[in-house]
A and B are shown apart, each in its own frame.
Chain A
Amino acid sequence: MGVRVTSGHRLLAAMIGIGMVFGAQAAKVPDLGPLPPIKVNKAKAELGKRLFFDKRLSGNAAIACSTCHDPKQGWTQNKPLSDGYPGNGHFRNSPTLVNVAHKKVWNHDGRIGTSLNDMTREMITEDYIMNMDMRIMQERIKQDPVYLEMFKDAGYGEPSNGKVRKAIPEYLKSLTSRNAPFDTGKMSASAKKGMKLFKGKAGCIQCHNGPLASDGKAYNTGVPENFDIFLDPNNHQAFISFAMFQGIENYMNLKRDPGFYNVTLNKADIGKFITPSLRELKYTAPYMHNGMLATLDDVVAFYNNGGGKDSKKSSLLKPLGLSKGEQKDLVAFLLSLSGDQLTTAEHVWQGGYPAEYTAIKDWKNVRN
């Protein structure tokens, strides 16, 4: 150890010291709380809404952002792994987009830490996601008179790729939690007990803190691998394409999702994933980056056992010793972080789309 212990008293003092340091750290964790309001430009968001649900934003015009982030499924897909682009599958669970504008880092592996503008570009262009050449996308948009009008009304002028990457994030800002019992103060007694556990005995708040109930950092909790990623060639091809493009070595032989390692290329980060927000969980099962846990009961049981099996698992995870009743309370609290489903015209484009592209009249003589 290299620490010379000269007496029992000193050892005890050292232990107290460690305890105090830990206590101080715990105290520094930001508390849960209401999400700060975000200002949304209505015209820009309305344009972004139409774009979000428009299948013409994918290479073969078969899927929209909303295909894998479906309002009726909690702005995600209620299956372990996202659909991905037609012709392949995916290797991760689609995260909800409610409160996405409050995040500072995106993707389960945290590979985008700049802006939703970049995130929008990533989702539209990746070959296993929407596989769109954005130059074709731009020209499709310019072919739709409704868009020409909406871009103008939004103050963007002529439609362009850059403006799409601004309008969609503006719309995403409008997707925020609404009327969650936690925010309205109408929590059940069980949920209130659960909140105490959350902040105390269960230790959830160590990572799930702040208004989003997420610290935006990466941890290895030992979630088991989803073998369907590797046993289904459709999913595996998306994984291989991703890992190859990201420059992860030995990508053909990987039998696990490298997670945050993708960002740092530091082996200690293998299997770490960004702490997800706990808001809107009620609608977003299954859980974890690979959808391996089907219910919130499963999730709480998983943590109660001290997480999964991984030699690089975070030292924060230890068996919690929660009783059945305590686990129930904890689930009740987690559910209190979910509000109204955002499934009305306020958030969902209901204006439809033209069945085909209108031809520009007098094409030979008009300026594009």
Chain B
Amino acid sequence: MKKVIAFRPLLLAAVAGAIIATGCVAQESKKGMNDPPALAPLGPPPIPADNLQSPAKIAYGKMLFFDPRLGGDASTGCSTCHEPDQGWSWAEDISRGYPGTVHWRSNQTIINAAYYSKLFWAGSSKSLESQARSAARGGVAGNGETGIMEARLALIPKYVELNKKVFGTEWPLERDAFRAIAAFERTLVQRDTPLDKYLLGDKTALSEEQVRGKKIFEGKGGCIQCHNGALASDEGFYNIGVPGVKRWEYDGLAQITFRFEIYAKGAPEEMYRTVKDDPGAYFRSKNKWDLGKFRTPSLRYAVYTAPYMHSGQFDTLEDVVDFYNVGGFAADGRTTGFPETKSPLIKPLGLTDDEKEDLVAFIEAFSGEEILMDAPELPPYAAIFTKAELQAAQEAK
């Protein structure tokens, strides 16, 4: 495998992160310092010291996750776009978005989101708590604001009760609601995939095909250069040549959101007028060498989360493997709008059809049983004051 000196700091950080995050000790390796961390069984998710888990908090967070009243017009909650039966994601190229809009990026699964230290495709949030809040407030996502969100929470007696028990304040605070949602999301993990079982010693957990695929993954396919460690993600930023959203070329609603995102994220005017692909991590650094880079996604649970990539341009894992095999081009020849920043790691792989099949079979080993969940029954609103209290206040005027 090629050693890539330029990525050493990132990889080291990822190794350290993986150890802290999973509690797994890095595997003994005869490989050099620059080799990526090996695939590893997934440990328990990291729990931030300032937002510890508790059954009540998780129960509160679960209800909030499924409650559309957190969205601006009370129609759009977390689960609206992260649907359990769509892989806790959204099964279209780009996410459905707030009513009257469409999003501009593919929706990522909630499953195992707890392990990321960088949330969103461009890594703009550093915690589940802030990710959930940003999504709930974004104009093409939840379009909610603090005022109306806290007001609605206060008018749902069950939430007032749960909030008081968990966070101690008389009235629910919006930020605490997102802490509860994050606590619930930290329960949505999958650690018993065929790969986990295999890595923990059950050599029957992978088929022969998958074992061959694993070799390709770690060798000729070079996948492990970025998809490594227990999460199968180094959380680094790369431009691998994924083309932009095709829909932008013919869908007026999608064109609106594209321009809005470029405008809202603070692009210079000339860029607003001319850019036609998602600048990705550029918006974090405003360095032109970050144009078109996105954080490596985990491969876990991928069986359920099609379509793939930040722009949702590939419907199947086979398409994804084909894309890599030709060095980062879609079947129709489309590629990133920022070819100048494309990673040198992406090169034609020369995989045979059998090898591609083996690789796909192995990638499927990152997914276990589908995690399904019914939405909980949501508690109703109730008035805070009685008519008698209001009458008394009227009399006292």
Contacts and interface: CB of A to CB of B under 8 A. Distances in A.
A134 to B, nearest CB: 9
A128 B397 contact: no
A311 B397 contact: yes
A136 B390 contact: no
Interface string B72-99: 1111000000000000000000000011
Given A60-B75, A135-B263, A139-B263, A237 B148 contact: yes
A131 B143 contact: yes
Best-buried of A231, A240, A245 by chain B (most CB within 10 Å): A240
A359 B147 contact: no
B140 interface: yes
B29 interface: no
A244 B147 contact: yes
B140 A358 contact: no
Given A60-B99, A233-B382, A367-B274, A143 B252 contact: yes
Nearest to B263: A135
A87 B69 contact: yes
B98 A88 contact: no
B50 interface: no
Contacts of A239: 151
A59 B256 contact: no
A367 B255 contact: no
Interface string B239-256: 000000000111111011
B394 A225 contact: yes
A254 B140 CA distance: 33
B289 interface: no
Interface string B301-332: 00000000000000000000000000000000
Given A56-B100, A242-B147, A230 B397 contact: no
Given A136-B256, A231-B387, A256-B397, A236 B155 contact: yes
A60 B251 contact: no
B238 to A, nearest CB: 23
B101 A136 contact: yes
Contact of B397 (A244, A271, A356): A271
B390 A310 contact: no
B143 A241 contact: no
B248 A363 contact: yes
Contact of A140 (B146, B151, B171, B256): B256
A128 B148 contact: yes
A138 B319 CA distance: 37
Given A233-B382, A242-B147, A359-B250, A143 B255 contact: yes
Interface in B139-192: 139-140, 143-148, 150-152, 154-155, 170-171
Contacts of B171: 252
B256 A357 contact: yes
A236 B252 contact: no
Interface string B251-276: 11101110110011000000011101
B331 to A, nearest CB: 19
Interface range on chain B: under 10, 10 to 19, 20 to 34, or 35 or more? 35 or more
B139 A359 contact: no
Interface string A218-261: 00001011010011111011111110110000001001100000
A224 to B, nearest CB: 6
Interface string A282-321: 0000000000000000000000000001111000000000
B383 interface: yes
A70 B114 CA distance: 49
A311 B251 CA distance: 60
A56 B99 CA distance: 11
Best-buried of B74, B139, B148, B249 by chain A (most CB within 10 Å): B148
Given A87-B72, A142-B259, A61 B381 contact: no
Best-buried of A56, A136, A242, A363 by chain B (most CB within 10 Å): A136
A26 interface: no
B252 A358 contact: yes
Interface residues of A, number: 56
Contacts of A127: 72, 144-145, 147-148
B152 A237 contact: yes
A240 B145 CA distance: 12
Contacts of B6: none
B148 A59 contact: no
A128 B251 contact: no
Best-buried of B69, B150, B252 by chain A (most CB within 10 Å): B252
Contacts of A128: 147-148
B373 interface: no
A102 to B, nearest CB: 31
A237 B397 contact: no
A117 B69 CA distance: 31
Contacts of B73: 59-60, 62, 85-87, 131
Given A241-B147, A241-B148, A363 B397 contact: no
Contacts of B170: 252
Interface string A354-365: 001111100110
B384 interface: yes
A88 B147 contact: no
B389 interface: yes
A131 B137 CA distance: 11
Given A61-B99, A143-B252, A143-B256, A238 B151 contact: yes
A361 B264 CA distance: 23
Nearest to B382: A233
A237 B276 CA distance: 41
B383 A236 contact: yes
Nearest to B74: A87
Contacts of A224: 394
B393 interface: yes
A241 B151 contact: yes
A311 B393 CA distance: 12
A109 B87 CA distance: 49
Contacts of B251: 359
A88 B155 contact: no
20 contacts: A60-B100, A60-B143, A62-B73, A62-B100, A87-B73, A88-B148, A88-B152, A131-B143, A138-B263, A139-B260, A231-B383, A231-B390, A232-B383, A237-B152, A237-B155, A241-B147, A256-B393, A256-B397, A363-B249, A363-B276
Closest A-B pairs by Cβ, 9 of them: A357-B252, A87-B74, A61-B100, A241-B147, A133-B139, A240-B151, A233-B381, A255-B393, A237-B151
Given A255-B389, A364-B249, A368-B274, 18 more contacts: A59-B73, A59-B139, A87-B148, A88-B151, A131-B72, A135-B264, A142-B256, A227-B391, A233-B381, A233-B382, A234-B381, A238-B148, A240-B154, A244-B147, A252-B170, A255-B390, A357-B252, A368-B272
Interface of A: 56, 58-62, 85-88, 127-128, 131, 133, 135-136, 138-140, 142-143, 222, 224-225, 227, 230-234, 236-242, 244-245, 252, 255-256, 271, 309-312, 356-360, 363-364, 367-368
